[in-house]
Amino acid sequence: MVPLEKSTRQSVLVLLWCALMMRPTSAAPLDAAPGVAHPASWPRSHSAGLLDPATESRVTDLMSRMSPEQKVGQIIQADIGHITAEELRRYPLGAVLAGGDSAPAAGADRSPRAWLALARALRAAAPIPILFGIDAVHGNNAVRGATIFPHNIGLGAAHDAALVERIGAATAQEMAVVGFDWAFAPALSVPQDLRWGRSYESYSQDPALVRRYAGAMVRGLQGAADSGHAVQSGHVAATAKHFVGDGGTRDGIDQGNSEASEPELIRVHAQGYLAAIDAGVMTVMASFSSWQGSKLHGNASLLNDVLKERLGFDGFVVGDWNGHGQIAGCTNTSCAAALMAGIDMFMAPDGWKELFDNTLAQLRAGNIPAARLDDAVRRILRVKVKLGLFDAARPWEGRADVLASNFHRALARDAARESLVLLKNAGALLPLRATARVLVAGDGADDIGRQCGGWTLGWQGGGHHNGDFPQGESIYAGLRTALAAGGGSAQLSTSGHYREKPEVAIVVFGERPYAEGAGDLRSIEYQPGERRDLELLLRLRAEHIPLVSVFLSGRPRAMDAEIDASDAFVAAWLPGSEGGAIADVLIGDARGAARHDFRGTLSFDWPASAAPPRSRFALGYGLSYAATP
């Protein structure tokens, strides 16, 4: 009996071993080299609407008539600050962009007329139709007088994909009006550390929400896949960015390194791309960041094998601002490695001319195979044909009435209203009666630029006057209007000094505008050194004035003391140009009945001040009037 038992045990072990060896692997093999992806462990997606026989034969025909110089030109994008129309005539570049600080005319004139004149001049010079790209990341935000929508973090709090799609469509129209064809949006980052200064460009820390919104924003900007030439119908090309893992960098450092495992990269950071590709997104931008020590711009396993092969992406991959120059062995003006890894178009804002010469030389020397160049050019021309760039008609161009139309402003106001999250409402202080005498304080109360944040009439935002937003309304202006209509009054004093004691104070304060790099934090604590805003809150509190805090910010900040000092606390994010939205929700009717309820809930955990890090309010939190007895 004993020997039999032993052999049974042995065969069970052998069977187990076989089963282990044969099990289908969904995770990366244990011997995985760092920074090398395993496409078979990724889910699949499929580019919608980009590949069809008619488009491909048109592209084939175009390419058969193109010189090597013209092909090399197609894979390079220059910034408008570094190229003239005359140069574009000689160097047939595939695209131009307007970087965050690039204006179309002298004196930082960002009027619609200046943008349109530039677009037309560049287009007239280019021998092959160019793509004109810009960071329209919360509306067409580099154009004076355009509608500025809430930044993505606020849209995340709204949990409304249909709203996001409508915003995409409105943004595309406001772009088409001034001659842009390509939005560097949406950002599909899934930030895991709020110290990252680009957190506000993201919808959520929740991959499922980012995925839901990705398809909606792509459809909004581009129109439905297969719906025909986008430009002729007031649409533009979208960009899913930054592929992939930009929100996962260690300590939230911009352009840093993500140490995520491959399953985590897929489960958290890649989710938005699946939906964006399924919705037909025309371009994907590579991330400045690294994955397991490998720069995305040079990572063939992620760009070629995962994105293009496994995920079936048929559009083109654009590099980020001189991102190719960060690959080991590359410079801003020479980088065959990026092309070989899967970048199809270099974003070479300033070094484009030398890059052109060097790339052409590398092609002639055989360092770049003609087939790789042809594939990149084919992808770019495919997008151009699909967009309708080869058809001269641009029915939306010049329709100035579309910019900040009543319809778009109402949409922005709805969005800002839906994005507000009520974190505290002690004693049901809110909504306020419209007959109330209100002190409006805080340095964010009457400052539209503060409401809009970074990527607004400039890269880092800030430094604006309310007059720079002829279409906009400050939060104070909105409160004043609502209170005046209801028989109450609004007294503005940013420092919180008053002549006549108010019945209640609304204090609007928060972060100052920032963007990439400058927005990174070492600590998530709000005003860790000198708590200036807290002083104001405590002073008003000491005077027994009921306090409503409206916090403007690109992310939650740890600020228990400020929340504790307030009777009511509203996270307003970066609501954009329609400051009146705040009054819609805070000010009720003459008897104090709400005119609009709060609908937003957190799309990120809100940290507590106490260490070790824990949440004061968890993802999904948000009060409403209806739920408060």
Residues that bind ligand BGC (CB under 6 A): 97, 99-102, 135, 184, 241, 288, 320-321, 459, 516
102 vs 299, which CB is nearer to ligand BGC? 102
305 vs 320, which CB is nearer to ligand BGC? 320
The yes-or-no answer on residue 414 being catalytic is no
**All residues at 6 or more sequence positions from 366 whose CB lies less than 8 Å from its CB, including other chains:** none
Quick one: which H or E segment has residue 291? strand 290-291
43 vs 517, which CB is nearer to ligand BGC? 517
The reply to whether omega before 186 is within 30° of 0 (cis) is: yes
**Least distance to ligand BGC from the beta carbon of 305, Å?**
24
340 vs 518, which CB is nearer to ligand BGC? 518
CA atoms in the 13 A half-sphere facing the CB of 350: 7
Looking at 193, 206, 344, 516, which residue is catalytic?
516
Distances (CA, A) of 549 to 34, 400, 504: 47, 37, 11
109 vs 564, which CB is nearer to ligand BGC? 109
100 vs 154, which CB is nearer to ligand BGC? 100
Contact between 540 and 441 under an 8 Å Cβ cutoff? The reply is yes
Phi, psi of 242 (to 5 degrees): -110, 120
3-state DSSP call for residue 240? Answer: strand
**Least distance to ligand BGC from the beta carbon of 320, Å?**
5
CA 124 to chain centre: 31
CB atoms < 10 A from the CB of 400, how many? 13
Distances (CA, A) of 376 to 127, 304, 310: 19, 12, 18
**All residues at 6 or more sequence positions from 318 whose CB lies less than 8 Å from its CB, including other chains:** 77, 95, 239, 283, 284, 285, 286, 343, 344, 345, 347
**Least distance to ligand BGC from the beta carbon of 348, Å?**
12
**Least distance to ligand BGC from the beta carbon of 102, Å?**
6
Quick one: which H or E segment has residue 479? helix 475-486
Looking at 79, 320, 344, 443, which residue is catalytic?
320
The yes-or-no answer on residue 201 being catalytic is no
**Least distance to ligand BGC from the beta carbon of 352, Å?**
14
**Is residue 87 exposed (0-12), middle (13-18) or buried (19+ Cβ within 10 Å)?**
middle
Amino acid at 36: V
**Cα 377 to Cα 62: distance, rounded to the nearest angstrom:** 10
Contact between 607 and 613 under an 8 Å Cβ cutoff? The reply is yes
**Least distance to ligand BGC from the beta carbon of 354, Å?**
19
Contact between 127 and 70 under an 8 Å Cβ cutoff? The reply is yes
**Least distance to ligand BGC from the beta carbon of 96, Å?**
12
**Least distance to ligand BGC from the beta carbon of 62, Å?**
27
243 vs 288, which CB is nearer to ligand BGC? 288
Quick one: which H or E segment has residue 504? strand 504-510
99 vs 496, which CB is nearer to ligand BGC? 99
Nearest to 145 by CA among 447, 466, 465, 472: 472
> Which residue lies nearest ligand BGC, judged by its C-beta?
99
What value does the CA radius of gyration of the chain take, rounded to a whole number of Å?
Answer: 26
Catalytic residues: 320, 516
